[in-house]
Every structure is written in C-alpha cells, then in structure tokens.
Structure 1
Amino acid sequence: MQQRIKHLPVYGLDLETLWKTERPTFQQKIIVLDDDPTGVQTVHGIPVYTDWSAETIRSMFEESRQLVFLLTNSRAFSVDETTRVHTQIAERIAIAAKETGQDFIIISRGDSTLRGHYPLETEVLRNVIEKQDAYKVDGEIVIPFFKEGGRETIDDVHYVKQNGNYIPAGETEFAKDRMFGFTKSDLKEYIAEKTENQFPADSVLSISLDELRALDFGSIESKLHRLESFQKMIVNAVSEEDLKVFTIALMRVIQQGKHFLFRTAASFTKVIGDISSKPYLTKVDLIQKNSATGGLIVVGSHVRKTTDQLNALKALDSIEFIEFDCHLVVDKEQFEKEIVQIQERINEKIGEGTTVCVYTSRSRIDLGEGRQEKELALSVKISSAVTQFVAHCNPQPAFVIAKGGITSSDVGTKGLAVKKAEVAGQIAPGIPVWKTGEESRFPSIPYVIFPGNVGEVDTLRTVVEKLVNKD
C-alpha cells in the first residue's frame, strides 16, 4: 500500500495556479450539515450554528462568509428523528435560497470511519430538495478522506491508518458499531451494503488517484456529467491536493448546470471552502490570562482509543479524576444521587483552581441483540447528565474539553448553551476549538471538541497539558 502511494506523481505549481484561477468563480453558498461537532476539525474563521429555525437558516444565507456549518448532532438521533430534522432543514434551506436568490450546495458531513445515518440523511435531503423545486439532484459524491485522522481511500478501499499500518475500515472497531455497523471496506461495496443493493457496487463510479495525479480533468468531468438519478460516485484521496484536483473539475461541472449532494468527512469541507491551513492553537491564543479557576474535561466516548487516551491522561497528578457510574442509569434514584455528588466535587475543585476530568465508566451498556435504539436512548440520557455537569458548573471554568461526538454536541448546545460559535482553529491535528458566543452560558471561553476516534495515545494528555501548564 505504501509502495503504491510512493510511486504516485507529485503535484507541481500547475495545480496551485489552476486553483487560484478557478476557485474565485465558485460563488454558491456552501452549507455543511454536521452530524456531530467534530466536523469543523479542518477549518477556522467560520461560523457554526446549533439550531435550524427558519430565522437561523435565513441568517446563514445572509452571513457574508461562503462556508457555514449547521450542527445537527444526528448521529445521536433515532431514524425517525433524523428523518424529521433533515426534512425541516432541507425545506427551510430551499425557502431561504429562493427568498435570497442564492444558489447553494449541501454537504452532509459524516464520520471518516463511515458511521452514521447513511444513506438516510442524503436520501431525505434529496427528496425534499426536489419536492421543493430547488433543483434536481443528479448524483451523490462520497469522500470519507480525512488527512489529520489518517483516513485514506486508495483503489476504492477506505483505510484507517493505525500506528503506520493501513487497516481496511471494515476491519476496525468502528465497523462493529452497534447502531451503524458495516462489513465492507471497498466503498463501492459499502454503498451497495448500506443501500441494500439499491445502488449495486458496479453502478458506482469512482475517481482514481491516477486520474487525479495526471490532472485528467477531461475524464473526471466526463464521469461527473454521467451521474443521473442520484447515482453514486466515490473519490480516492490521500492528500488535500487530490481533493483540489477533483474540486476544480466539480466546480466546472456545477457551473454547467449539474447538481450534487455530498457525503464527506472533514477534509473536503476545508478544500471546497478554500480554507487555508493555520498553525495549531496555543494557550496564549485561547486563554488570555491565567484563570483562578480550573478547567473542566468530560469524557463520554467508549471507543478503545478514548479509553487509552484517558488512561494516559491519568498520569497527570494535577488533574482531579471523577468516575461517573453510568450503569446507574437503570436506577433513577441512585442515578440522581450520583449526579448530585459529582456536581458538588466538580464545583469545589474548579473553585480551588484544580482542573477536573469527569469520565463515564468504561464498559458499555449492552441490552442484547435488537435493542440498539433502546441502548442509544440510554446513552442520550447519560450524555444529558454529563451535560448538566457543565451547565451547573459554578464558578465558570477556564476552559471546557469534551471527548466524544454525542458528548461534545450536548455539552456545546445544552451545557454551554451555544447558539452560534466561531471556529478558532485546531489545538492538535483533527481537534477543533470553538470560541463560545456572548449568548452562551460561559461567554468567550475556549471549548475543545475532541473526537472519540482521533489522536494518538498521548494526544489528550498533550492537549490538557498545553492548557493547564503555567506559562
């Protein structure tokens, strides 16, 4: 695999010259629907909205910046709720687009390890957009490449790089997700599996690395023009430059009247949004003065990577660690007692200037086969309790870190009560930071959104050390 990549042609200055010529001609509003808050892990200087009222959707179109994110948190939703929410959002986008006279594209930003409500979300979006007469959707483009997370697509197979090794996505722990599991690593076969063969593998088009490295725009554009009736296309990529080549062809075809929906990871949003790279954030960037209070870290994700990172964090003697026994959720009285006791400890320690890490017990609740949605409902209840640890934190913490997708969404929207945030950048590869809005519970503090499936064993500890160490 590494040999295959090693022998690919390297891009020259021609690509950057082409990009600077072509990109300014693309004026459509780019709306990213993010199924958890981690999708901003490649961008900075853009707004994130956390509700989808008609007024908010309208303000997204009135926002001067071309690229906007709307956090749906749908990875924590049931099928019915996901359908309802995406129907509402698509209807309101179509109405606002007509009222403002703006063209738009929608990107459904999903997990780079292929979990989530796919193909449900894009199917709902397509149906509503066409019903509202916004436009006819010719095809769907799937791009799960995410550089910072080590997710690469090569010869149509999607890989998760772990310790320098390429592991096919279907062979990772993520593929065994009880709600969103899958078995195929070849993306053509993955699409066939997830669509129950409505779109067979042999019907899925793909853009190869060879076409991209050869700058074969004729071939790429021809394939894009062939898409019709919501046919699927996958894009191979191992670098952001690969996506730039594809996006040049894509913009040309869109301007010729074709319309697409996108299911992608975070790298594509950065490229099509023309967002520059930026150095990683430091404590000086985020905390302008030494706070007398400690920070608050909440860990909810149960993937192995998170548990390993939590164990590494425990090497820091300066952090107060509190385990939240989430299995008590089945006993209302005991569960509420646990919440009260933990809240008292959090407030006491943060008031003393100590940073606190609250983490859910590491074993998952398993109700048995066929009860995945019930398990999801309990997980939401647990996440809600974790959220309250943030909402009821007194005094205001110096910073907040949330680990895990569902956890970070609930902490941001419910715990911190953020309506609109600014993405400050990343504090480490693939780990974004919001600056909370003035309307939030704790205005203008750094909120670090740490995905459950990102980073090395010591990354969480490194991030925390960066924020707690004395200058």
Structure 2
Amino acid sequence: MPLEADVLAAFPAEVQIPARLVADSVAASSEASPRVLVVLDDDPTGTQSVANLPVLTRWEVADFAWAFAYEVDGQRQRAVYVLTNTRSLDPAEAAYRNEEIVRNALAAAAATAGTDEGALRLSFVSRSDSTLRGHYPLEPDVIAATVTAVNGEATDGVVIVPAFPDAGRVTIGGVHYMRGTGADAGTLTPVAETEFARDASFGFANSEMAKYVEEKSQGRFAADSVIVLDLNIIRAGAAAGDPAISAKAIADAIESATDSTPIVADIVTENDFRALALGLEEAESRGKKLLYRVGPPFVRGRIGQEVRTALTSEEAYEGNTPSEAGGLIVVGSHVGVTTRQLNALTEQHSAARIVEIDVEKLLGDNAGEYLDETVGTVVAALHEGDVIVHTSRLLIRTDDAAESLRIARTVSAAVVAVVNRTLKTFPPRFVIAKGGITSSDVAAHGLEIRHAIVRGPMLPGIVSLWEPVDGPAKGIPYIVFAGNVGDDQSLADVTRKLSSTF
C-alpha cells in the first residue's frame, strides 16, 4: 500500500479558500435567477456532510414546493435532498424513479415563475457511494435525458467526485483510494482492493476512475475520453495563493466537454472541494451544462457551506422535549466496520437490551408470527431503556444480483415493520439507523417521515441528524448512520450523546 504523503508529493499544496468565497460566488450567479441544487440521494447518508437543508422522502410537486420555499434566516437554501433509495432498486426501477423525480422538480421550479425572485433554475446532483457502489452510469444518463426531454437542454459533462475525506476516501492522480486506519494510518488502498468492490450488486474491478467509467459504461466512454481534473489543475493557484487561477484552470479543462463527457476530479481536502466549486461556477458561467455524480461532501463545498461542528447532546434535542422511553438503535448493514461498531456498542452499553432479527426466520414460512414476537420484545424493552435491534450477522449470499436485492428488501421490510409498529405503540427517545438501505427505509416507512430538516452531524462530517417536521416521528431525533463510515467506537459515541442510560 502506498503512503499518502508519497503520492501527494508529486502535486502542489492545497489552495486556502474560505467557504464564504464560494458562497458569494454562488449568490452572485443566482442574482438574476435563483439556483437550487436538487440532490437525488440514492440512500439517506448523503446528508451527513451538510446542515440546515430540507430533505424529502416523497417527491410530488407539492413536496418540492415546500422544500424550495424553506428558508433559514430569511434565505432560501441552495440545495434540497430527495431520498430516492435507488441503491436498493433494480436498474429499471431506479431509472423510473430518477425520471419521475426530475420531472416533478422541474415542474415545481417552473411554478415559481410568478414569484418576486423569478423562476428557479435547477442543477441536478446524483449523490451516490464514496466507495463507488450504485447505478452508474444509469442514473446520470436518465437525469440528463429527462432534462433534455422536458426543456431541451443538453448536458455537456457529468462531473464525478466520489471523494469523502472525512470518511477516508480520497482521489489522487485520478485514482480513488481508502485511507488506512490504526496500524495502517498514513497508507492508501485502491478502492477496488477493498471489500466494497466485491459488493454483490455493484462490484467493480478498477480504482483508476477513467477505467472505472469505461468498465461501468461497458466501453461507451473509453478511459482516454474521460477528462481528469487532477491536483495539478485543482491546485493550479497554489504558487500564487490565488483561487481564481485554479478556477480558470478547471473551467479551461472542462471546455471541451460535450454530450455528457465524464469529468473526474481529484479531491483530498475541503479546500479542494471549494477550488472545484469555483471552477464549476466559472465553467457554468461560460455556458457549460453540467450534472454531478458525487459522494457526500461535494454539495457542502459546491454551495459554500461551512463545515458544521458536531452537534452536542443539547443541540440534538433543541426545541423538543426528549421522551422518557429508551432509544432505538437499528443495525442492518453487514460491512466489517458496522459489525465491529455493533460489537463495541454491545460490549460497552450493558444497560441496553439486544434483540437480534434472524434473517433465516424472516425468509421462512412463519415470518409473520416471528415479527409479532420481535415487536413485542422491543416495545417491552423500551420501557426499561435503550434497545439495540440488529439483523443476524451471517450474510446470506447469492451469485444472482437480483436475488441479492430481493433478500435485502425482505430484511429491510421486516426492520421497517418493527420500527413502525414500535413507534405507534411506544415512541422511542431517539432512533439511530445504521446502514444505507436500512436508514432509508426506516426514514420513509418505519418513521413515516415525508419532510425533514438535516440539522447537522453527530460526528464530524460523517453521521447526520434529521429532525422530522411531520408524521408520527415529529420531534424525535433520527440519526442516519452509513454502514461504511466511522471507527470502531463511532456507534457507541453517537448513542452515548443521545441516551439517558448509557
């Protein structure tokens, strides 16, 4: 494994860029016609890097109207998240959902034409996994085609930015890496050599992003046709300490993009995100029409939002009175780090009741009866304190991708049923959902959240708190915790902040 310092030695130092510089640039470009990023988030964990933004789990025109009207300190927000959950869908379902969301968003934006500010301009972000899992290139393809069908606007380039430095994912020299932890701190592992590349539904073989694009597009985009914005371009202004030089270099490099040309960006730091944002602003001011396929922190950098410090225990409950019930921690992810986090939590939180959902029983003939028993156990335990509900750690594998998704859906539906029936019987103090598909289904169906506000992170940059603003879970802190982020103690750390018994 290469050392990060050695890989970075070939490139310039980062350019120091305050978030305000990006925010001012975005504001200036929105003066004549306000612009909003519509983020189609293929699981809810994409919100973990932002704060005070609206999030939808439904996408009717009226839902977008609510989100577009949401203001903080009298200002309309620059981005809206839509929880698509498409990573749990097959390609045809994912395509249909992307198209439906884009059409409804554009319709809602068109309806703002008579307002004082004028009609909203929308830019679309296809938010996916920082370890490269998900429906690519299908989702940006569908978004681009739908925009063209609705308003005739063609997409020049698809900007691909999977980096997530807060969680140890960085792109250097066009290669996507995972940072080592513990004894391996300081090292980089190409992402194709990690467990994520062996995903049953979305596996891949290439860490070099241009080759990844060629692999996933089945040769439609050759590797040598991909524009790579490496750190020499992102940090072009380093010698002069001038972000404008970087912005121009990025816009110049994108100039040739046409017909959805893939554009890959190196990112190692928050300053790199901000440099990229300024460059994209410059490119769009020249007339380039861009879509984005990104990891979680891109939106924060793109709109010039400051990095939000982690919420305190008091901030997590601000404006709401916490219930006397225990909290509900739901764990569905099966990646190695989740299992280690679960083990650490159960070892340290001796007061918590542990309820395992046996996946084999869920797939058996008496699944309904088994679910009834599980709900009864959880509700009784919540009267005494926190409850940790997790699926059995034995992952049932199949070589059939469709069958893998079917099993995942069956398990997720059971988890949702447990959460929903528990909520309506004895509402918990808080809910933590661990895992992308798990947290999506728990939000939309288990807690019946339709509209929520992302308040900010529970841990720096990697775990977000949603405040539901409607439905039976209104006022209950909901913690969205990706399966593949954090160290072994992270789940325990978040639970400790929220619990009254830990």
Shorter-normalised TM range: over 0.9
1:51 to 2:55 alignment: no
Aligned to 1:200: 222
1:141 to 2:159 alignment: yes
Give the partner amino acid of 1:118. Answer: Y
Aligned to 1:375: 404
Aligned to 1:365: 396
**Residue number among 431, 448, 459 corresponding to 1:417 in the alignment:** 448
1:319 to 2:341 alignment: no
Closer, same or farther: CA 358–18 of 1 in aligned 2, 3 Å: closer
The whole-number CA distance in structure 2 between the counterparts of 1:78 and 1:413 is: 19
Question: Normalising by structure 1, what TM-score?
Answer: 0.95
Runs of 4+ in 1 over 6 A off after TM superposition: 14-17
The whole-number CA distance in structure 1 between the counterparts of 2:335 and 2:170 is: 20
Pairwise mapping of residues 43-442 of structure 1 onto structure 2 (< 5 A)? 43-63=50-70, 64-100=76-112, 101-163=119-181, 164=185, 165-215=187-237, 216-287=246-317, 291-315=323-347, 316-333=349-366, 335-352=367-384, 354-367=385-398, 369=399, 371-393=400-422, 394-429=425-460, 430-437=462-469, 439-442=470-473
Aligned to 2:49: 42
The offset of 1:32, in angstroms, is: 0.6
**Residue number among 36, 39, 49 corresponding to 1:32 in the alignment:** 39
Closer, same or farther: CA 160–398 of 1 in aligned 2, 3 Å: same
**Do the aligned residues in 2 keep the contact of 1:297 with 1:402 (CA within 8 Å)?**
yes
1:443 to 2:461 alignment: no
The whole-number CA distance in structure 2 between the counterparts of 1:468 and 1:432 is: 16
The whole-number CA distance in structure 2 between the counterparts of 1:247 and 1:241 is: 10
Aligned to 2:26: 23
The offset of 1:7, in angstroms, is: 6.9
The offset of 1:16, in angstroms, is: 6.3
The offset of 1:134, in angstroms, is: 4.6
Closer, same or farther: CA 20–98 of 1 in aligned 2, 3 Å: closer
Q: Which deviations, in whole Å up to 9, do the C-alpha atoms of 1:57-76 show, x marking residues without a partner?
A: 34344442221111101111
**Do the aligned residues in 2 keep the contact of 1:15 with 1:245 (CA within 8 Å)?**
no
What runs of 5+ residues in structure 2 fail to find an aligned partner? 71-75, 113-118, 238-245
**Do the aligned residues in 2 keep the contact of 1:43 with 1:270 (CA within 8 Å)?**
yes
Q: Which deviations, in whole Å up to 9, do the C-alpha atoms of 1:87-121 show, x marking residues without a partner?
A: 11122233333333221100000000000011111
The offset of 1:442, in angstroms, is: 2.1
**Do the aligned residues in 2 keep the contact of 1:424 with 1:434 (CA within 8 Å)?**
yes
The offset of 1:362, in angstroms, is: 0.7
Aligned to 1:460: 491
The whole-number CA distance in structure 2 between the counterparts of 1:456 and 1:401 is: 16
The whole-number CA distance in structure 2 between the counterparts of 1:120 and 1:12 is: 34
**Do the aligned residues in 1 keep the contact of 2:329 with 2:431 (CA within 8 Å)?**
yes
The whole-number CA distance in structure 2 between the counterparts of 1:205 and 1:227 is: 8
Q: Which deviations, in whole Å up to 9, do the C-alpha atoms of 1:123-172 show, x marking residues without a partner?
A: 11111111112511111100001121110000100011131231111111
Give the partner amino acid of 1:434. Answer: W
The whole-number CA distance in structure 2 between the counterparts of 1:155 and 1:33 is: 27
| Number of positions where the alignment pairs a residue of Structure 1 with one of Structure 2 | 466
Give the partner amino acid of 1:78. Answer: D
Q: Which moved more, 1:130-139 or 1:168-177?
A: 130-139
The offset of 1:44, in angstroms, is: 0.6
The whole-number CA distance in structure 2 between the counterparts of 1:18 and 1:433 is: 27
The whole-number CA distance in structure 1 between the counterparts of 2:222 and 2:279 is: 25
The offset of 1:443, in angstroms, is: 1.4
Give the partner amino acid of 1:222. Answer: D
The whole-number CA distance in structure 1 between the counterparts of 2:420 and 2:45 is: 20
Q: Which moved more, 1:423-432 or 1:278-287?
A: 278-287
CA RMSD of aligned residues (A): 1.8
**Do the aligned residues in 1 keep the contact of 2:337 with 2:484 (CA within 8 Å)?**
yes
Closer, same or farther: CA 230–295 of 1 in aligned 2, 3 Å: same
Give the partner amino acid of 1:116. Answer: G
Q: Which deviations, in whole Å up to 9, do the C-alpha atoms of 1:232-252 show, x marking residues without a partner?
A: 110001011111111112112
**Do the aligned residues in 2 keep the contact of 1:325 with 1:338 (CA within 8 Å)?**
no
Q: Which moved more, 1:1-10 or 1:185-194?
A: 1-10
Closer, same or farther: CA 23–406 of 1 in aligned 2, 3 Å: same
The offset of 1:401, in angstroms, is: 0.4
SS of equivalent residue, structure 2 residue 297:
helix
The whole-number CA distance in structure 1 between the counterparts of 2:374 and 2:17 is: 58
SS of equivalent residue, structure 1 residue 332:
coil
Closer, same or farther: CA 232–208 of 1 in aligned 2, 3 Å: same
Percent identity between matched residues is 32
The whole-number CA distance in structure 2 between the counterparts of 1:233 and 1:140 is: 6
What runs of 5+ residues in structure 1 fail to find an aligned partner? none
